[in-house]
Amino acid sequence: MVFQESFAIHTRGHGDMQDLSDAVSRIVGQSGIKTGMAQVFVVGSTGAIGTIEFEPGLKKDLPQMLDRLIPPSREYGHEQAWHDGNGHSHLQATLLGPSLTVPGSRSFTWNATSAPATERLS
């Protein structure tokens, strides 16, 4: 059995993270599936998805770590071509990845998932 649903989230820009656990759990509950896999996918090139303990310290630490690894800069090839200020966001999203698959049995309970950009998820 396959069940698919989409939802949208809105963030406040670079580095913002949203807890998607309630939305994903609601959709899984609506599916009627008791054992299987839940997959969340970010439709977009500057958003990413992952699991993290959704608490204030880590909500601050993850964006700071990503900016240290891949800092905002006008030197990226993307910036040279488009001049839109988000070359680092594309690279950070590529590092984290666009999807997450979680196995479950009876209850799909997990730590928070996050998408650090405004994106549509399906």
Instruction: Write down all domains in the chain, each with its CATH number in brackets.
Output: 9-121 (2.60.120.460)
Give me the chain's average pLDDT, please. 86
Nearest CA to 24 out of 122, 99, 120 is that of 122
Residue linked to tokens 């006008």: 74
Q: Is the pLDDT of residue 119 over 70?
A: no
Which backbone phi and psi does 101 adopt, to 5 degrees? -120, 130
pLDDT of 66-111, one tens digit each?
999 999 999 999 999 999 999 999 999 999 999 999 887 655 554 4
Residue 122: the pLDDT is 47
pLDDT of 16-55, one tens digit each?
999 998 898 889 889 988 888 999 999 999 999 999 989 9
Residue 60: the pLDDT is 95
